[in-house]
Structure 1
Amino acid sequence: MTEGAARAGLTARGVIYLLVGALALQIAFGGSAEQADRQGALEEIAEKPLGSVMLWALGVGLVGMALWRLSEAVFGAAGPDGRKWTKRLASAARCAFYTFVAFSVLAFAAGESSGGGSSDERSRDVTARALELPGGQWLVGAAGLGVIAAGGWIGVRAAMRSYHKHLRLGEMSRRTRRAVDVTGVVGGIARGLVFAAAGFFAVRAAIAYEPDEAKGIDDTLRSFADSPVGPALLACVAAGLMLFGVFSFAMARWRRV
């Protein structure tokens, strides 16, 4: 049961990243005004034939992801160090995150048009409330630095191919392993870069004491197009996010659970 939940969850994650990357790629080439975040991905699915069925399936898959992470927090993850308290704490945090994501997707599928709202709106609202607290600037700044660190950690681990320890490499051909490495390394670095950029904007919001400086995934991705490199950077990051979606499908197939 746990294995099925994990593989369903990884597949659902892959769908979301694939769609977010595709939307960002359209933005890079000036062909879309859709939000390049989870909300935009849900709206994209809803417009397709059998979109409602797909949304419910996606939500159920994300529930599976949350349950898998919960089981890791309670019983320990696969692998020799899976029972360490640090691993269990990380699994508990992932469980909380995917519980929220699953709830927002299922709410959207049930007819709640906001689906939790855009990532940009949520980021600004949370930042505004946090800044009003005593020591709010320090709190937001620390959170932003934490997200930057998480982005760096994600990118470095991807570059080091740390995911190999979770995969059944013996079941892959050499060509398949190379393809998975391309998606895992490039996709992981792109994902880490987006996290780090979002953290940078949170730090900037704390320094300026201005909630509107905080950015969700959509505005963060759009900011890449405003860099000196221009839309080319956004196109590269978008392609990387799509590759991470494909990597999630590979994890659903070959990950040890």
Structure 2
Amino acid sequence: MRAGYGARAMIYATIGVLAIIAAFTSVEASGTEDSLQTLRAQPYGVVALWMIGIGLLGYMVWRVIAGIADVEDHGTDAKGIVARGGQVATGLIHAGIGVSVLSLAMGNGGSGGDSTQDWTAKLMSMPMGRYIVAVGALVLLGAGIYYCYKGWSGKYKEHLAASTFTTRFDPAIKGGLIVYGILLSLVALSIGIAALNADPSQAGGLGKALHTLRTQPYGPVLLGIAGVGLLGFALYNVVEAVFRIVPKVEGPDVETLAKAATG
């Protein structure tokens, strides 16, 4: 679990830094795949990719076990089953990303294409493919809205241990979750438009969402804010790696950030 959150932190910190650089230069903002390519070209970049890939596979193990064994006490009612099913699903998704990162570390990646467009095109070539893509876009939009809600409402505090660090950096964590939710929603909208028009080229990942921000009025400012927000989201993942509480391991009496805020 902690290795997985650490791996996610490394990914989004890289994307955030490159987005901030792009906000002040003519360099194009990078999505996940391009950012990992940039990371690979740095000293010890291949080592970092191996760490990220293995960490994401660890995250997959955690999410699958958490969903099956219900280590976070979601329960067995309808809401709990949906939450646990979501844990298993996100674990498998991160396994796919982890395998892709490890492939890049071994020098087998780097096609330079947009993986979101590639997957959208593959799905659209299947029977009922446009509808499958549309459903995926709706699910992703729901995830984006949930991240915004999670940040705005402070729901994330229920699973974090109270500490001086988590309290001090709580505003940055909140902002990071909201910005990430907005960017995820932009990705979902691009995929939804691609499904509506049956045009996979209109779909895009995080890189396209950042590019969309840059083309708006005050685009460099918006892109800079997005980059800072992604650093906040990376910080959130660092905090999750260090301070996340697992109820069936730590017990029910650990003081969470939510309890500290109300107490």
> TM-score, normalised to structure 2's length?
0.85
Shift of 1:145: 2.3
Which residue of 2 is the match for residue 43 of structure 1? 37
Query: Residue type matched to 2:158 in 1?
Result: K
Q: Give the CA RMSD over aligned residues.
A: 1.9
- 1:152 paired residue number: 145
1:213 matched residue in structure 2 = 202
Provide structure 1 residue ranges, at least 5 long, that are not aligned to the other structure. Answer: 1-5
SS of residue matched to 1:49: coil
1:163 is matched with which residue?
156
Partner Cα separation in structure 2 for residue 143 and residue 61 of structure 1? 25
Are positions 1:53 and 2:42 aligned together? no
Superposition deviation, residue 77 in structure 1: 2.7
What stretches of structure 2 of length at least 5 have no aligned partner? 247-263
Q: Does 1:66 align with 2:30?
A: no
On the 8 A contact 1:7/1:252 being kept in 2, the answer is yes
Aligned AA (1:113) = G
Q: Which residue of 2 aligns with 1:16?
A: 11
SS of equivalent residue, structure 2 residue 98: helix
Which residues of 2 match residues 165-244 of structure 1 at below 5 A?
A: 165-169=158-162, 172-173=163-164, 176-244=165-233
1:103 aligns with 2:99: yes
2:114 matched residue in structure 1: 121
Deviations 1:70-96 (A, max 9, x none): 111221132x42563222201111111
Assess if the C-alpha contact under 8 Å between 2:16 and 2:229 holds in 1: yes
Aligned to 1:3: none
Cα distance in 2 for residues equivalent to 1:91 and 1:134:
28
Contact 1:158–1:185 under 8 Å retained in 2 = yes
* Cα distance between partner residues in 2 of 1:129 and 1:107: 20
Residue 30 of structure 1 aligns with an amino acid whose one-letter code is T
Identical aligned residues as a percent: 27
TM-superposed deviation, 1:248: 0.9
Distance 1:206 1:86 in 2: 26
How far did residue 32 of structure 1 move? 2.8
